[in-house]
Structure 1
Amino acid sequence: MSEAASTRTSVALLPSLAPLLHQWLPRQRWFAGKGSHVAGFSLVSATELLPLQGPGPGLLHLLVRVRQPDLATTHAAADCYQLLIGVRQTLPPVLAPSLIGHVAEGPLAGRTVYEGLHDPRLSAVLLERLRAPGTLGPLRFDRFDRAPAIPRGLLPRPLDAEQSNSSLVYGDTFILKLFRRIHPGPNPDLELPLALARAGCERAPVPVAWYESHAPEPFTLGVLQPYLRDSRDAWMLALEALAGGRAFDKEAHALGRVTAEVHTALAHALPTVRLRGAQTEQLAAAMTQRLDAAAKAVPALVPHVPRLRAAFDAVAVLGRHGRAWIAQRVHGDLHLGQALHCSTDGAWSVIDFEGEPARPLTERRRPQPAVRDVAGMLRSFDYAARTHRPWNPTWAEVCRDAYCEGYAAACGTDPREEPELLRAYETDKAVYEVVYEARHRPDWLPVPMAAICRLAAAP
């Protein structure tokens, strides 16, 4: 297709798809604006990965902004989403669950469009593009020069477990994570594992290949990594230990070592900064603001607010008296589900460096004290212990101590030696959990509320 024809097609394309997207997008698990009015769409880019005209299925890559003005106070009013649209004359029965709809007008009039990732013929195209670095329209495909070769013919299958992204597994050899709600700039889930790989740290799967959009602004769209098929996450292992009445301190100690190794490598590979008085006060003020907003949303927090606020004030006071902390790039959303244990060689790996998807990308890429990740893992031990009946708080405490000891053994610094900062970050995390559980899983609200009571009672 000529560039002029492509431009004319793109201009007419989105209006013809908009009625179908209005119905289909809000039903997708990765769509962030559920329950809010979709005011319209605007096209960022359209790229034919496979020709749309012809006997075979076509594959259309779209970047589309979704306008939702009533969400302007919580996130961007026009979030950008990555869509991979399959195009056929008729849809075979096996692909019926992937149907988006039948196009009534425009350049695809009379054709059927559907979720392309569920079609093995189309999802195989992405792997072929990643095998051969280069550009296609606004898309750029790239590879890590020290990564293993990507063989041909690996059969793709989608994973169904994810919420905010989509993933394809190719022949149990590679996994391709596709970011659905995308933001300008490098995605930490590519940036940080790539930095670790270049630094020689083997605690994260190596980015084998990736693809990005370079116009009109840079977006990271997808990352291909080895698929750790013989691995299980630490969350499931912890629950099995609890169910079997077994200790988990050895695993917790190992997880502490792994976390410290990742932090050490990131601190050497990427810039660090020193948080002094003003920055420390800003950090504490942001935590206080989140606490106040959470108390308005969840009244159960209100009686604890003064004591919780004191944890943040303590950090601000230390900053005013000259205390400084090193801030660096961190995982940003570390918990037991983000650590994989390989049954073959016993190695631990850390995955999903994207950070909390609900937070702005600029915030997720900002250097922070490493203790933030530590606090996330300590809260995760609490969650695991609370899933077991009867509740076993001693199990969690033993795991928390073992984790910090493992961390100290690997890097020489025990997180418990910074009690004010650790308490502040753990409190901030527990406040976040209270809001999340109140909105999405009310039955789980007692789990973070127990931590709130413990942290509020701390001297």
Structure 2
Amino acid sequence: MSEAASARSRLAADRAAGIAPLEPMLRAWLPTQRWFAGKGRAISRLRAVSAAELLPPGSTPGLLHLLLDVDGDCYQLLLGIRPSPLPPALGPALIGHVDSGPYTGRTVYEALGDPRLASMLLERLRSPGTLGPLRFDRDPGAPVPAGLTPRPLSGEQTNSSLIYGDSYILKVFRRVGPGVNPDLELPRALAAAGCARVPAPVAWYEADLPGGEPLTLGVLQPYLRGSDDGWQLALRRLGAGADFTAEAHALGRATAEVHSALAAALPTLALGPEQTARLAAGMTARLAATVREVPALQPYEAGLRGAFDALAASRGAGVPAQRIHGDLHLGQTLRTADGSWSLIDFEGEPARPLADRRRPEPAVRDIAGILRSFDYAARSHRPFAPAWADACRSAFCEGYARTTGRDPREDPVLLRAYETDKAVYEARYESRHRPDWLHVPMAAIRRLSEPQRPAHRMPPPVTPGTTPHPKPPRRPLA
């Protein structure tokens, strides 16, 4: 065995010895986390891919960075290590107590809940360099001040975020894979292209592991203080019986600006007939799998499949494809304090493989996501307000066309296929996680499964500010 190979073997043995005592508590703790994808099943395999002490040995508290292989998925953990007992404020972050190994007698906890350790992580990002397998980098033209007070951002599902001094937000990716995460790659490309619709990354960190591409672990961006979450803003307007078409129109223009900038900054292509047929076949396969899991879809399967068959049959010429957001809905938008719109969270659907999320796709996928989101908002209150949703959908498309010169509704076959695919995804998600909300995508499923009418004219333009007002909601459905 070579000297280098022997050193790697000793390192692996040392790492396993240090992490092995933590394994039982991590097996119990991981399935309780909102960002863990393996809920509902026992963990079969758990091993350390990398381990790095981010503070000198013996520091109190200590900060241990782990990449864990959990049944084939790689997860990032940041663990605090203190003598027992924990301060009361850190009680909710408790993972367990260590009885053997190098951390004997210490308590292990979720580090992002500890302000001291969260502040230390920011300091690492402020000072580019490497530490073991970790590499910290930043935009040299965007210095980050020291001493910003951290606080966790609540309510996330697939990642964890920290806000520093109401000036910056750090997204810590939990489930990671080889390759640049789109939430770093695309905002950087947009910033280089001069597009101000997306906050530009100011710092980030990655892991360099032997034999593979770097793994993006976290991204620090400006925090748009005082912004309104697009989903919550829409619900407030809907609840007050207020118009939202002006905002929808402006959001359409912002989305088109981002798409145009991405198309100019990154490679594009045209999907030929064979590629379009494969695209439609993938939609059909997802439908079949979802019907098996959600029996309520069975009566509508043939009608839904018709949308995908029509897409496969419609293409003699290519479908334009480019880099897109990939998981766009109202909750991924912010209306800033000056009244303009920004798009955030370019990670794409986290359940999809990273390589898939980085492939060019038709921009209409993002458009379908926003159109479905208007329907979700309208159906989240009683009584259902179809006129509100329809007016918002029209205003968004008109705003999009104002920038690109082409209304998405001019390609009804492609738009219907993507709306249908999105509604099928929603049905599976709600069935798994929020059964009380299944009625929302099911309403769209029924509509989209109906035979497509012959080609017809688009609805007349909606003048922002003239939407028929829905009645104020009586109570939320969920």
TM-score class normalised by the smaller sequence: over 0.9
- The one-letter code matched in structure 2 to 1:186 is V
Match of 1:60 among 56, 64, 75: 64
The Cα shift of 1:454 comes to 1.2
Deviations 1:395-426 (A, max 9, x none): 11110000000000011111011110000000
Give the Cα–Cα distance (whole angstroms) in 1 for the partners of residues 249 and 427 of structure 2: 27
Question: Which residue number in structure 2 is paired with residue 30 of structure 1?
Answer: 35
Matched, 1:186 2:191: no
Residue 404 of structure 1 aligns to a residue whose secondary structure is: helix
The Cα shift of 1:159 comes to 1.3
The Cα shift of 1:11 comes to 2.8
Matched, 1:382 2:387: no
Matched, 1:198 2:192: yes
Residue 122 of structure 1 aligns to a residue whose secondary structure is: helix
- The one-letter code matched in structure 2 to 1:154 is L
The Cα shift of 1:47 comes to 0.7
Give the Cα–Cα distance (whole angstroms) in 2 for the partners of residues 222 and 154 of structure 1: 18
Match of 1:276 among 247, 272, 279: 272
| Greater Cα shift, 329-338 or 94-103 | 94-103
- The one-letter code matched in structure 2 to 1:98 is A
The answer to whether the Cα contact below 8 Å between 2:250 and 2:340 also exists between their aligned partners in 1 is: no
The Cα shift of 1:40 comes to 2.8
Match of 1:150 among 144, 158, 172: 144
Matched, 1:286 2:282: yes
Give the Cα–Cα distance (whole angstroms) in 1 for the partners of residues 169 and 393 of structure 2: 32
| Greater Cα shift, 305-314 or 251-260 | 305-314
- The one-letter code matched in structure 2 to 1:200 is G
Give the Cα–Cα distance (whole angstroms) in 1 for the partners of residues 12 and 55 of structure 2: 17
Residue 163 of structure 1 aligns to a residue whose secondary structure is: coil
Residue 65 of structure 1 aligns to a residue whose secondary structure is: strand
Matched, 1:436 2:429: yes
Question: Which residue number in structure 1 is paired with residue 468 of structure 2?
Answer: none
The answer to whether the Cα contact below 8 Å between 1:52 and 1:59 also exists between their aligned partners in 2 is: no
The Cα shift of 1:293 comes to 1.1
Question: Which residue number in structure 1 is paired with residue 299 of structure 2?
Answer: 303
The answer to whether the Cα contact below 8 Å between 2:49 and 2:66 also exists between their aligned partners in 1 is: yes
- The one-letter code matched in structure 1 to 2:206 is E
Question: Which residue number in structure 1 is paired with residue 248 of structure 2?
Answer: 252
The Cα shift of 1:296 comes to 1.2
The Cα shift of 1:449 comes to 1.0
Matches within 5 A, 1:44-123: 44-54=49-59, 56-67=60-71, 78-90=72-84, 91-123=86-118
Deviations 1:147-186 (A, max 9, x none): x310010011111211110011111111100000111111
Match of 2:47 among 33, 39, 42: 42
- The one-letter code matched in structure 1 to 2:319 is W
| Greater Cα shift, 220-229 or 45-54 | 45-54
Give the Cα–Cα distance (whole angstroms) in 2 for the partners of residues 88 and 8 of structure 1: 24
Matched, 1:15 2:24: no
- The one-letter code matched in structure 1 to 2:423 is A
Give the Cα–Cα distance (whole angstroms) in 2 for the partners of residues 94 and 364 of structure 1: 38
Residue 225 of structure 2 aligns to a residue whose secondary structure is: coil
Question: Which residue number in structure 2 is paired with residue 140 of structure 1?
Answer: 135
| Greater Cα shift, 299-308 or 161-170 | 299-308
Matches within 5 A, 1:229-244: 229-244=225-240
Give the Cα–Cα distance (whole angstroms) in 2 for the partners of residues 252 and 197 of structure 1: 24
The Cα shift of 1:145 comes to 3.5
- The one-letter code matched in structure 2 to 1:407 is Y
Question: Which residue number in structure 2 is paired with residue 71 of structure 1?
Answer: none
Question: Which residue number in structure 1 is paired with residue 259 of structure 2?
Answer: 263
The Cα shift of 1:8 comes to 5.5
Give the Cα–Cα distance (whole angstroms) in 2 for the partners of residues 335 and 263 of structure 1: 15
Gaps of 5+ in 1: 68-77
Residue 50 of structure 1 aligns to a residue whose secondary structure is: coil
TM-score (norm 1): 0.94
Matched, 1:159 2:166: no
Question: Which residue number in structure 2 is paired with residue 415 of structure 1?
Answer: 408
The answer to whether the Cα contact below 8 Å between 1:434 and 1:445 also exists between their aligned partners in 2 is: yes
Give the Cα–Cα distance (whole angstroms) in 2 for the partners of residues 145 and 193 of structure 1: 16
The Cα shift of 1:132 comes to 1.0
Give the Cα–Cα distance (whole angstroms) in 2 for the partners of residues 111 and 239 of structure 1: 46
Matches within 5 A, 1:222-233: 222-233=218-229
Residue 327 of structure 2 aligns to a residue whose secondary structure is: coil
Give the Cα–Cα distance (whole angstroms) in 2 for the partners of residues 86 and 52 of structure 1: 13
The Cα shift of 1:236 comes to 1.0
Moved over 4 A (4+): 3-8
The Cα shift of 1:6 comes to 6.5
Residue 430 of structure 1 aligns to a residue whose secondary structure is: helix
Give the Cα–Cα distance (whole angstroms) in 2 for the partners of residues 151 and 238 of structure 1: 35
Aligned residues: 442
The Cα shift of 1:7 comes to 5.9
Deviations 1:98-125 (A, max 9, x none): 1111111111112211111111111111
TM-score (norm 2): 0.90
Deviations 1:19-75 (A, max 9, x none): 111111111111110111111311111111012314x211010101112xxxxxxxx
Deviations 1:77-116 (A, max 9, x none): x111101111111222221221111111111112211111
The Cα shift of 1:252 comes to 0.4
Give the Cα–Cα distance (whole angstroms) in 1 for the partners of residues 437 and 400 of structure 2: 29
Deviations 1:360-404 (A, max 9, x none): 111111110000000000000000011121111011111000000
The answer to whether the Cα contact below 8 Å between 1:295 and 1:302 also exists between their aligned partners in 2 is: yes
| Greater Cα shift, 448-457 or 194-203 | 448-457
Deviations 1:245-290 (A, max 9, x none): 1111100000100110000000011111110011000000000011
Give the Cα–Cα distance (whole angstroms) in 1 for the partners of residues 188 and 236 of structure 2: 33
The answer to whether the Cα contact below 8 Å between 1:205 and 1:351 also exists between their aligned partners in 2 is: yes
Residue 38 of structure 1 aligns to a residue whose secondary structure is: coil
The answer to whether the Cα contact below 8 Å between 1:9 and 1:107 also exists between their aligned partners in 2 is: no
- The one-letter code matched in structure 2 to 1:454 is R
The Cα shift of 1:188 comes to 0.7
Deviations 1:336-359 (A, max 9, x none): 11110112x112110000111111
